[in-house]
């Protein structure tokens, strides 16, 4: 890497050297010849290293002009700033910065996205102008982002050179057969796509509450909420049903995570029509529709937007955009291959580009705070209210005329096509003097319709969501003085009104979050486990308990575990019989298992577990769990799997523990 200041460029430069013979091979029969790597040398830290070089891009604007988009690949042993493969993308649009700033926004939001920067490219010391450096998605991308190696699926059935363009399949969300991989979990065969097939099956059954619940388990909803918020903030419609999807399946968390790739943010072709505001929801296809039917996704998405504006990240990003445009204005007069060729035209387009970003942020910010007043009706221990507008009611506070002396039993009710759903929330109520507060995240209702002209365009219309909350064992003589609500900015007064009928949530799963099971399961004596058993609630295992594990039997524990034996009465995880094949795993998984404790425990005769979607590679497997303590334990005689204890994305403390056999 060389950095020049003053004369022509203040950008980092990348210098590539390729012989005339190799360049002739590359350009011999375009576009086909341009896709074949030729040999060259790349300048890295003042030294030349071996590298390969070719053109890239599905469509003509990448390689028809003199400024062509290219890909460079180094050897495995010598990398460029920790990266083996990267792209130098010729800006696609007159405003130049669409992908650069969109990638910057994605990474600022905590999304999985390639590294990017503005650079000046020199080929055989000839200035080729300004390019966008973009890391190529590979396993190394995952490692750079603190993620374990796994499958990165690529969905492309639009470009002329896409592998599945002639498959006859019209949408990526129909079948896993039109996806391939750019990174592979080598614990499974290359053709293994069971997680993706399950993902697509659930999308196709999006109307089913069971499918929506399963989607919540299979997807990292926080990440997908960020991704959707990013689509809105970047005003991008470039994630199509047939193009431009990259998704990572984390095999250790069992979750799909979206990857931002080629977003083309703030494309002028997707800008709002005159007189219209920028859309805060981008819904184009079946995946989008399935996600917007999921209440957990919607709450995650709204929380991201709320935090983005409340933290001032919008202001910070606008400052970055302004700084980047200023840098480009200094560079473009000296770009010999600038497209379009007139620097003043480019400057004018960048000015309009900045205005689109700023106006889009302002339009979307309006949806994150106050909306139409919330109306309520309260009588004899029943609170009826509606949530209008385009944002959740995060919490409410009831203020009574006197002190609340006894905690009531409380449940929320709402209507679905299957009938009335009740959600118990008694243990989530907070009492303080004469105030009762509940933090829950109540969503408005919505309906979707397809455009008459284009059935693929899905219109999203918000309508009020209606709820009723019943208070049992409550002093009905208490008089409600005020109901205050928080929709993302601060407390505001709700307005008394007539009771609203419970209008059905026709399509929205979990308009309020499902309750977490907090009552623990307690084991003592002899416990038989004959197959794979999943336990979602907390688990307490008493001292002296013997857990008899059948061949291949496993425990998948999603809640906090307190397995606290004593020196005299240890807890034992044992084969059910002395002659059987190994049992599987005891697996702790997910943040609800945080704080688990294993004390004076013996585990012997286990192995691991490998299913179609998930793998646990040790007798005791700990995935994505924090503050786990293992003390005074013994692990011995495991089979098949190499590890007795294996932890990923976790924080564990091991004290006075022995490993044998």
More confident residue, 103 or 32: 103
Q: What pTM value is reported for the model?
A: 0.93
Write out pLDDT tens, residues 509-533: 999 998 887 889 999 999 999 999 9
- CB-CB neighbours of 196 under 10 Å: 21
Write out pLDDT tens, residues 209-268: 999 999 999 999 999 999 999 999 999 999 999 999 999 999 999 999 999 999 999 999
The Cα–Cα gap between 50 and 47 comes to 10
Sheet strands (E) in 146-237: 151-155, 179-183
- pLDDT, residue 62, reads 62
Q: Kindly write down the DSSP assignment for every residue of 403-461, as one continuous string.
A: ---SPPEEEEEEEETTEEEEEE-GGG-EEETTEEEEEEEEPPEEEEEE-SS-TTPEEEE
The Cα–Cα gap between 581 and 550 comes to 8
Q: Does position 7 have pLDDT exceeding 70, yes or no? A: no
178 in Cβ contact with 172 (< 8 Å):
yes
**Phi, psi for 650 (deg, rounded to 5):** -135, 165
Q: How confident is the prediction for the chain on average, in pLDDT? A: 93
79 in Cβ contact with 71 (< 8 Å):
no
The Cα–Cα gap between 134 and 49 comes to 20
Write out pLDDT tens, residues 371-428: 799 999 999 899 999 999 888 999 999 999 999 999 999 999 999 999 999 999 999 9
- pLDDT, residue 276, reads 87
**Phi, psi for 298 (deg, rounded to 5):** -60, -45
Using DSSP, state whether 558 is helix, strand or coil.
Answer: coil
- pLDDT, residue 248, reads 98
Domain over 375-496 is classified CATH 1.10.540: no
The Cα–Cα gap between 410 and 52 comes to 66
The Cα–Cα gap between 155 and 178 comes to 7
Helix pair 295-310, 343-365: axis angle to 10 deg? 120
pLDDT, mean of residues 560-564:
98
- CB-CB neighbours of 577 under 10 Å: 11
- pLDDT, residue 164, reads 76
Residue 569 is encoded by which pair of tokens?
């009465």
Nearest by Cα to 504 from 442, 414, 441:
414
Write out pLDDT tens, residues 89-138: 999 899 999 999 999 999 999 999 999 999 999 999 999 999 999 999 99
Residue 200 is encoded by which pair of tokens?
């697509």
**Within 13 Å and on the Cβ side, how many CA atoms surround 147?**
25
Beta strands 47-55 and 38-44, pairing class: antiparallel
The Cα–Cα gap between 623 and 626 comes to 9
- CB-CB neighbours of 294 under 10 Å: 25
Q: Does position 591 have pLDDT exceeding 60, yes or no? A: yes
- pLDDT, residue 130, reads 97
**Within 13 Å and on the Cβ side, how many CA atoms surround 229?**
32
Write out pLDDT tens, residues 423-450: 999 999 999 999 999 999 999 999 877 6
- CB-CB neighbours of 65 under 10 Å: 12
How would you class 296 by CB atoms within 10 Å of its CB: exposed for 0-12, middle for 13-18, buried for 19 or more? buried
Q: Does position 65 have pLDDT exceeding 80, yes or no? A: no
Write out pLDDT tens, residues 483-505: 999 998 889 999 999 998 999 99
The Cα–Cα gap between 256 and 224 comes to 9
Q: Which residues are 563's β-sheet partners? A: 541, 598
Residue 333 is encoded by which pair of tokens?
């007069």
> Which residue bears the tokens 């639009």?
158
- Domain ranges in the chain are 1-90+113-146, 147-368, 375-496, 521-660
């Amino acid at each position: 890497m060389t950095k020049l200041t003053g004369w022509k460029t203040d950008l980092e430069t990348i210098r590539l050297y390729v012989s005339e013979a190799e360049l002739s091979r590359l350009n011999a029969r375009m576009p086909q010849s341009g896709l074949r790597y030729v040999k060259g040398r790349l300048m890295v830290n003042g030294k030349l290293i071996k590298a390969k070089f070719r053109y890239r891009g599905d469509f003509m604007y990448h390689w028809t002009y003199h400024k062509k988009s290219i890909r460079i690949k180094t050897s495995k042993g010598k990398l460029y700033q920790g990266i083996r493969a990267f792209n130098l993308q010729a800006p696609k649009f007159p405003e130049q910065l669409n992908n650069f700033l969109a990638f910057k926004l994605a990474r600022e939001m905590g999304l999985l996205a390639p590294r990017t920067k503005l650079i000046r490219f020199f080929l055989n010391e000839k200035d080729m102008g300004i390019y966008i450096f973009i890391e190529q998605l590979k396993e190394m991308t995952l490692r750079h982002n603190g993620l374990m190696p796994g499958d990165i699926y690529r969905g492309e059935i639009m470009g002329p050179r896409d592998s599945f363009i002639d498959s006859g399949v019209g949408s990526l969300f129909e079948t896993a057969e039109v996806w391939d991989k750019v990174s592979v979990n080598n614990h499974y065969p290359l053709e293994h796509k069971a997680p993706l097939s399950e993902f697509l099956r659930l999308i196709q059954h999006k109307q089913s509450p069971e499918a929506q619940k399963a989607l919540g388990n299979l997807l990292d909803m926080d990440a997908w909420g960020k991704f959707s918020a990013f689509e809105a903030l970047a005003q991008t419609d470039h994630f199509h049903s047939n193009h431009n999807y990259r998704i990572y399946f984390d095999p250790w968390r069992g979750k799909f995570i979206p990857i931002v790739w080629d977003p083309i943010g703030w494309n002028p072709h997707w800008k709002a029509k005159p007189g219209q505001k920028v859309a805060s929801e981008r819904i184009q296809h079946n995946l989008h529709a399935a996600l917007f039917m999921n209440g957990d996704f919607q709450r995650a998405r709204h929380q991201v937007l709320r935090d983005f504006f409340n933290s001032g990240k919008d202001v910070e990003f606008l400052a970055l955009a302004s700084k980047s445009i200023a840098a480009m204005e200094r560079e473009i007069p000296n770009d010999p291959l600038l497209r379009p060729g007139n620097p003043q035209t480019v400057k004018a387009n960048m000015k309009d580009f900045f205005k689109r970003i700023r106006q889009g942020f302002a339009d979307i910010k309006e949806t994150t705070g106050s909306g139409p007043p919330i109306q309520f009706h309260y009588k004899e221990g029943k609170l009826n209210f509606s949530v209008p507008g385009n944002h959740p009611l995060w919490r409410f506070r009831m203020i009574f005329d006197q002190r609340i002396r006894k905690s009531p039993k409380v449940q929320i009710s709402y209507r679905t096509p299957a009938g009335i759903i009740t959600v118990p929330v008694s243990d989530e109520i907070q009492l303080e003097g004469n105030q009762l507060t509940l933090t829950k995240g109540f969503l408005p209702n919505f309906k979707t319709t397809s455009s008459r002209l284009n059935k693929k365009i899905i219109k999203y219309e918000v309508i009020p969501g209606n709820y009723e909350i019943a208070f049992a064992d409550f002093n009905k003589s208490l008089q409600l003085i005020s109901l205050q609500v928080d929709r993302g900015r601060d407390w505001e007064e709700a307005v008394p009104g007539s009771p609203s009928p419970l209008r059905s949530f026709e399509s929205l799963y979990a308009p309020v979050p499902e309750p977490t099971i907090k009552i623990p399961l307690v084991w003592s004596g002899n416990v038989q486990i004959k197959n794979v058993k999943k336990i979602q609630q907390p688990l307490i295992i008493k001292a002296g308990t013997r857990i008899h594990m059948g061949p291949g039997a496993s425990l998948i524990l999603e809640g906090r575990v307190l397995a606290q034996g004593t020196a005299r009465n240890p807890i034992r995880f044992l084969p059910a019989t002395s002659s059987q094949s190994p049992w599987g795993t005891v697996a702790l998984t997910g943040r609800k298992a945080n704080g688990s404790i294993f004390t004076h425990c013996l585990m012997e005769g286990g192995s691991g577990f490998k299913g179609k979607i998930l793998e646990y590679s040790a007798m005791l497997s700990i995935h994505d769990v924090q503050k786990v303590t293992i003390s005074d334990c013994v692990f011995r005689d495991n089979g098949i799997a190499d590890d007795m204890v294996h932890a990923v994305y976790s924080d564990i403390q091991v004290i006075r523990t022995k490993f044998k056999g």
